[in-house]
């Protein structure tokens, strides 16, 4: 029973990196380094904020979008980087997707369309509907829909301005 209730998060990214044994003869460590690895680490740590377990970068999405179902989650700038990236939740293999999940993603992404156009009331309506559809993720402390409900409420009271590019700044590693 414990195995079935275990939870984990993973951040996936692909690209160039350096891997191998590093260190001295006295203390050797097999590791990997590079921007690709750093982004994957940032994705893993930020997955909790969105209430997702599989958080992937745009490179993974582009390489595997024909095989898997993804939910576009956000356009973020991770701490320590100047260039924003699109991030996705890896939901399931294409042949395992159910109608409920596909409909949830559709409603959520419609909410995102309104969010990026600063149409806060319309976005809120879609995210609230999506939140009601996220009930099959019972072990999550939060959901992507709840995150965007909170953001829309905040932006409705304090609009980001006409030059807002939709990028969410991640403030922690």
CA-to-CA distance for 165 and 75, rounded, in angstroms?
A: 9
Summarised one tens digit per residue, pLDDT across range 4-19 is 556 677 777 777 877 7
CA-to-CA distance for 168 and 78, rounded, in angstroms?
A: 9
Strand order in the sheet with 168-169: 10-12, 54-57, 85-93, 68-77, 168-169
Largest CA distance in the chain: 61
Summarised one tens digit per residue, pLDDT across range 123-150 is 999 999 999 988 766 666 789 999 999 9
Q: What is the pLDDT of residue 16?
A: 82
Q: What distances in angstroms separate CA 149 from CA 27, 43, 70, 144, 146, one per listed residue?
A: 49, 21, 20, 9, 5
Class of domain 2-169: alpha beta
Q: What is the pLDDT of residue 114?
A: 98
């Amino acid at each position: 029973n414990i195995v079935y209730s275990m939870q984990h998060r993973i951040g996936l990214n692909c690209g160039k990196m350096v891997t191998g044994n590093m260190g001295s003869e006295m203390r050797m460590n097999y590791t990997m380094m590079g921007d690709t690895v750093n982004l994957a680490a940032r994705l893993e740590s930020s997955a909790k904020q969105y209430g997702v377990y599989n958080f992937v970068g745009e490179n993974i999405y582009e390489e595997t979008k024909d095989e898997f179902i993804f939910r576009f989650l956000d356009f973020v700038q991770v701490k320590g980087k100047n260039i924003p990236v699109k991030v996705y939740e890896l939901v399931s293999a294409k042949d395992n997707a159910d109608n409920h999940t596909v409909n949830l993603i559709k409603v959520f992404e419609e909410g995102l369309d309104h969010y990026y156009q600063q149409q806060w009331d319309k976005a809120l309506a879609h995210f609230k509907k999506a939140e009601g559809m996220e009930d099959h993720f019972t072990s999550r402390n939060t959901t992507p829909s709840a995150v965007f409900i909170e953001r829309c409420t905040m932006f409705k009271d304090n609009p980001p301005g006409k030059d807002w590019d939709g990028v969410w700044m991640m403030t922690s590693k």
